[in-house]
A and B are shown apart, each in its own frame.
Chain A
Amino acid sequence: MTSTTPAPIRSARQVTWARRRLATGRMWKQLRSDRAGFTGLIVLALFVLMALAAPLIADRSELRDDSSRGQLPFRPPSGAFLLGTDGIGRDVLAQVVWGARVSLYIGLFATVVAVVIGSLVGLVSGYLKGRIGALLLAVDDFFLVIPFLPLAIVLAAILGRSPNVLAIVIGVTSWAGSARLVRAQVLTLSERGYVDRARALGGGGRHIVVRHILPGVAPLIIANATLIVPGAILAESTLAFLGFGDRQSPSWGRILGDAQDKSAFTSNAWWNFLPPGLCIVGVVLAFTLLGRALEKIFNPKLSGR
């Protein structure tokens, strides 16, 4: 019975946070060892860097649509214009680096909207089994079946073409799948012993959902969000290609749309459509690889696929 310092008594909160820190560290290690997922993360970091550094690379005034400057259309890459010019004489490099901001911003904002709606609908419809649950499930069914692009087009045609509206339109049309996923996870978690125990101890509905079920579905929501982003970026580029979005600060999809309108293909102006197109493919692929890696980490049953 010598005087050893007693282990400090830790509150439940400290214990939980220590466990979460440990889990995060483990996840990071797993991600590091997943070659495809880690490559995705690095590629994404590079694109984010490009978007942030846009003012250093090219002047914003290059985006202005004034054909009056009398510049020749479709000038091939040269010292003055590293990626040449488009059909109305604008610098393609400036459009691509500034476009990164628009495409990433709309893609991420739309994902936030989709994840918030999807998680709420999934949590509530999974936990409440009565009429509200059934109604939410029916709404979910509706959005799952309705063809995405025609719906997004009518919404955007009515609500307007600003980047924020476009992001909300994409978010509102792409949450149905994740609601389904979250709901399934909530249903399994609700059967677990610890939820029963919380209920037996007198925990109310809100307490159980926020304190016990939400932490259990959170990893799934994060992995799923990473997989919604590529879809949202593709959706944005599609809508922008078709003519929605701001012409004064074009996203990658809009650059492609302009190239198509000005028949870049007949001038063989590859510099006008290859860079923005490859940027879309790169970002979408990177997000997909990262999302699949996260999904594997959170759901070990999937590993090896």
Chain B
Amino acid sequence: MSPRYLAKKIVGSFVLLVCVLIFNFFLFRIVDRDPLAKYRGRSKLTPEQKESLIKQFGLDGSKWEQFVAYVKNTAKLDFGRSFDSRRLVTNEIAGRLAPTLLLVGISTVVTIAIGLWIGMRAGWKRGSGFDKASTATTMVLYSTPEFFLGMLFLTYLGSRTGWFPIGGIRDITANYSGLEAMIDRAHHLVLPVLTLTLGYLGSYALVMRTSILDTAGEDYLVTARAKGLRDSDVMKRHAVPNALLPSVSLIAISFGFILGGAITTETVFSYPGLGYATYTAIGNSDLPMLQGLFLFSSAAVILFNLIADLLYGVLDPRVRRAG
């Protein structure tokens, strides 16, 4: 990977991040004429209290002064205080980050592994029974909102059969430790992970299937077959590595989608992560919290895109050499 490619990608990501910051400021301070309108119990405030609130939320001074203060605070990772809990948004986010990382992380890995495998097999044997069945299944899953899927699992695998807990992240009535606590966590994670995985499996399978189909007519496959390689070796060693490239960039893009899917999935399972916090913040019209969550998830997605671009640079020799 050439230094130029590296620099270009890093600068690009940084510019995007700055754009997100400006966009966010524009939304909350200029489009929204009265950001405090949604502050709870606003009508009972005295003028002095209102004044101090305006100061506290950085809404005093000219727009330019507000912008400078906003950039300074954001650089210090200070997104203001939640309207609802009055705690710092940064602390609220930090406290709920781990459960979401766990959920989204496991789901992403499982989704990628299964999705790519299905797409690979379906594309290689186009028109086979497996291809038809898997394409039909992925199309239906793709059309199903993940929260509906979650509600079905919650009812039929949780509430009705009692096989899995119906929400939360751990059994609060029991006092587990060590291995037992870990098993309890895993037990609570099964249904949310299953929901997110099935909800986003389709896009990976479809992209992988298409890119395997794209390699089908390539000369290097004819050569590989002419060498007398077995069909499965032609697929694994020659078709798949080339077909994987488009999936790498998809992984970055769909990370954003899975993060979004975590919002509704966590809501269905009352799973105490960032997604459930988003749902609560919507209900309370808690603008500073929503603003912080938006900035945070945008930054996470931009970071993932950068990683995918750099990975692409390492994997694809055309990019690696040309820069």
Contacts and interface: CB of A to CB of B under 8 A. Distances in A.
B143 A150 contact: no
Interface string B297-319: 11001100100000000000000
Contacts of B24: 154
Contact of A149 (B143, B166, B263): B263
17 contacts: A147-B260, A150-B278, A151-B294, A154-B27, A154-B294, A158-B32, A234-B145, A241-B147, A243-B279, A244-B282, A253-B145, A265-B159, A268-B159, A273-B151, A281-B143, A281-B148, A284-B143
Interface of B is mostly: helix
Contacts of B23: 142
Interface of A is mostly: helix
How large, as a class, is the contact surface on chain A? 35 or more
> 6 smallest A-B Cβ distances: which pairs?
A149-B260, A147-B256, A277-B148, A284-B143, A285-B143, A265-B155
Contacts of A244: 282
A146 interface: yes
A237 B210 contact: no
A242 B279 contact: yes
Interface in B134-181: 139-140, 142-145, 147-148, 151-152, 154-155, 158-160, 166
Interface in A43-91: none
Contacts of A280: 143-145, 148
B256 A148 contact: yes
A298 interface: no
A230 B290 contact: no
B285 A157 contact: yes
Interface in A126-148: 141-142, 144-148
A153 B290 contact: yes
B301 A238 contact: no
B193 to A, nearest CB: 18
Nearest to A147: B256
A260 interface: yes
Given A280-B144, A288-B143, 9 more contacts: A146-B256, A150-B293, A151-B294, A153-B278, A155-B27, A157-B285, A234-B145, A238-B260, A256-B148
A285 B140 contact: yes
B264 interface: yes
B287 A145 contact: no
A265 B260 CA distance: 23
Contacts of B166: 265-266
A245 to B, nearest CB: 11
A153 B315 CA distance: 36
Contacts of B140: 281, 285
A145 B16 contact: yes
B263 A242 contact: yes
Interface string B252-287: 010011011101100110000000001100110101
Given A268-B159, A281-B148, A241 B260 contact: no
B31 interface: yes
Contacts of A230: 143
B213 interface: yes
Given A147-B256, A259-B151, A268-B159, A243 B302 contact: no
Interface in A217-265: 230, 234, 237-238, 241-244, 253, 256, 259-260, 264-265
B210 A145 contact: no
B268 A153 contact: no
B290 A154 contact: yes
With most chain A CB atoms within 10 A of its CB, the pick from B256, B278, B285 is B256
A264 B156 CA distance: 12
B257 A260 contact: no
B75 to A, nearest CB: 20
